[in-house]
Amino acid sequence: MTRTRHLLDLDGADRSTIERFVARAAEFKRGVPSAARLLHGRIVVGMFFEASTRTALSFAAAAFRLGAHWLDFKTESSSLGKGESLADTMRTVRAIGADAVVVRHSESGFAHALAPHFGGSIINAGDGCHAHPTQGLLDAFTLQEEFATLDGRRLTISGDIKHSRVARSSARASSLLGAHVTLCAPPSLLPRDRPAWGFAAASSDLDAELPSSDALMLLRVQKERIDAAGSPPSSDLASGFGLDARRYALLPAHAIIMHPGPVNRGVEIAQAFVTDPRSRIERQVENGTFTRMAVLEACIGGPS
């Protein structure tokens, strides 16, 4: 795996970069005999200023499987509360011996802002509405596992696109692998530029997109961000851009259902489809650990 210093977003990534991460994640999933020695003695710090289940635990599991130590930085009880600056905090974390910091924050650009203050690797675990690169990679891995190649496949991402860091990173990774990505939302919750973000199409008619979709990814209705922003009510978003039985019937028989989680059952996806045979929601979570192993190895593997 080619070494990289930080993983902050996928904006500058090319197809071969995504392919390498996905291929290495697939190798870890099949089993790499020496995996537990690859990061022996390395220290990875989880710095989660925002809630997480999947990302935090799967990074910790990934570190464990590679032989690294995972330390939780307790954001609320840290010395940040005593007035220590972030820059000094990052220098302190490095002096303690951390090789990598995995960071999540509600502010877009937070991971980028940390990078100059840390001598090791910064890995973005989600920053505001901006990016969630490891989610993008694990979604691309899950799609490739399903379809062998994404060339010519159609991925529809539906819901609150505007506030979704997942939409941006998943659309980016999948489109780089050859998928045609359509972002589906009301006009007020779509990216302003067309084509969306420069690499996806946009639509406000989910029903029209479903019959040609190979994969449908629902997004959590981010009630806290939508209602506060004066956008259409979150209940409208669920009914207009969620998955129910009628829309399920519009999907081709081979199409799969995805969701980055956490799922609000009965809101953006009807209860019955969360564990439907065509749902890959748990597979996405499972693939998250292998993908994050590939990312940690790329950032802090090899000679230090």
Q: What's the min distance (Å) between Cβ of 51 and ligand CP?
A: 6
* Interface region with ligand CP, contact rule CB under 6 A, candidates 47-55, 141-149, 250-258, 268-276: 47-55
For residue 36, report the phi and psi dihedrals to the nearest 5 degrees. Answer: -70, -10
> Which range touches ligand CP (CB under 6 A), out of 150-158, 192-200, 229-237, 259-267?
259-267
Binders of ligand CP among 160-189, rule CB under 6 A?
Answer: none
Tokens 């977003």, residue located = 9
Each residue of 196-223: b (16+ CB within 10 Å) or e? bbeebbbbbebeebbeebbbbbbbbbbb
- Inter-axis angle of helices 281-300 and 15-30, to 10 degrees? 110
124 binds ligand CP per the rule CB under 6 A: no
Indicate the pairing of strand 215-218 with strand 256-258.
parallel
Shortest separation between residue 211's beta carbon and ligand CP, angstroms: 27
Contact flag: residue 159 with ligand CP (CB under 6 A): no
The one segment of 51-59, 85-93, 181-189, 235-243 that binds ligand CP by CB under 6 A: 51-59
261 binds ligand CP (CB under 6 A): yes
Residue 54 sits in the site that holds ligand CP (CB under 6 A): yes
Stretch that binds ligand CP, among 73-81, 242-250, 256-264, 295-303 (CB under 6 A): 256-264
User: Binding of ligand CP at residue 260 (CB under 6 A)?
Assistant: yes
Least Å distance, CB 294 to ligand CP, is: 17
By CB under 6 A, residue 292 contacts ligand CP: no
53 binds ligand CP (CB under 6 A): yes
Q: Which residue has the tokens 């010395």?
A: 79
Residue 237: which of 169, 186, 275, 166 has the closest Cα?
Answer: 186
Please report whether residue 135 would count as binding ligand CP according to CB under 6 A. yes
C-beta of 49: minimal distance to ligand CP in Å? Answer: 12
| Exposed/middle/buried for residue 35 (C-beta within 10 Å: 0-12, 13-18, 19+) | middle
Q: How many residues does the chain have?
A: 304
* Shortest distance, position 71 Cβ to ligand CP, whole Å: 18
Task: Give the burial class of 187: count Cβ atoms within 10 A of its Cβ; 0-12 exposed, 13-18 middle, 19 or more buried.
Answer: exposed
Task: Quote the tokens at residue 116.
Answer: 């100059």
Question: With binding defined as CB under 6 A, does residue 128 bind ligand CP?
Answer: no
CB 280 within 8 A of CB 256: yes
- The first and second tokens of residue 226, run together, are 């939508």
CB 126 within 8 A of CB 164: no
CB nearer ligand CP, residue 55 or residue 182: 55
By the 8 A CB rule, do 182 and 163 touch?
no
Residue 126, interface with ligand CP (CB under 6 A)?
yes
| Residue 42 binds ligand CP, judged by CB under 6 A | no
Query: Residue 65 or 104: which CB sits closer to ligand CP?
Result: 104
Instruction: Give the Cα separation of 133 and 137 in Å (integer).
Output: 6
CA distance from start to end of the chain: 15
Does the footprint of ligand CP cover residue 55 (CB under 6 A)?
Answer: yes
The residue count for binding ligand CP (CB under 6 A) is: 9
Which residues bind to ligand CP, rule: CB under 6 A? 52-55, 126, 135, 260-262
